[in-house]
């Protein structure tokens, strides 16, 4: 049972490069999320998708775009990476919405921007 799968696990980018972080879940969950985790900051919500076909901004959306490709997949794109985007990125999913059901997390993508 894979749960939430994120690729890649590690990535190093140069300033200005672009990349897409992939996320897929096999639990038939409706809602999916992207968080970033920085030391001493906890997790901050970047974007979320309440259901297939919808996406909304979270707390820190600047510099990112997302695509809910289908019910299983939710990708995060950095169009022009900046050193401030060095972080660990987590994708999560939930059955209904985190208000009522727990979040299931992937193992993260560790991104370094030089």
Q: Which residue in the set 45, 72, 73, 95 belongs to the binding site for other proteins (CB under 8 A)?
A: 45
Show the CA angle centred on residue 44, arms to residues 12 and 19, nearest 5°.
30
What minimum distance in Å lies between the beta carbon of 15 and other proteins? 26
27 in contact with other proteins (CB under 8 A)? no
Q: Are strands 42-49 and 56-57 parallel, antiparallel or unpaired?
A: antiparallel
74 in contact with other proteins (CB under 8 A)? no
Q: In whole angstroms, give the CA distance from residue 60 to residue 35.
A: 9
What minimum distance in Å lies between the beta carbon of 75 and other proteins? 16
Answer whether 108's CB lies under 8 Å from 89's CB.
yes
Contacting range for other proteins; rule: CB under 8 A; set: 17-25, 45-53, 67-75, 78-86 = 45-53
Show the CA angle centred on residue 84, arms to residues 82 and 86, nearest 5°.
90
The residues binding other proteins (CB under 8 A) are 4, 31, 33, 40-45, 48, 50, 56-59, 90, 92, 97-100, 102-108
């Amino acid at each position: 049972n894979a749960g939430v799968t994120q690729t890649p696990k590690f990535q190093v980018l140069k300033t200005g490069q672009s990349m897409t972080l992939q996320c897929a879940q096999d639990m038939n969950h409706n809602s999916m999320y992207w968080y970033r985790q920085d030391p001493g900051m906890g997790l901050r919500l970047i974007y979320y998708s309440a259901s297939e076909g919808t996406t909304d901004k979270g707390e820190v959306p600047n510099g990112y775009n997302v695509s809910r490709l289908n019910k299983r997949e939710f990708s995060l794109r950095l169009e022009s990476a900046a050193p401030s985007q060095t972080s660990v990125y987590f994708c999560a999913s939930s059955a209904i919405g985190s208000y009522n059901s727990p979040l299931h997390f992937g193992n993260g993508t560790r991104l370094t921007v030089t």
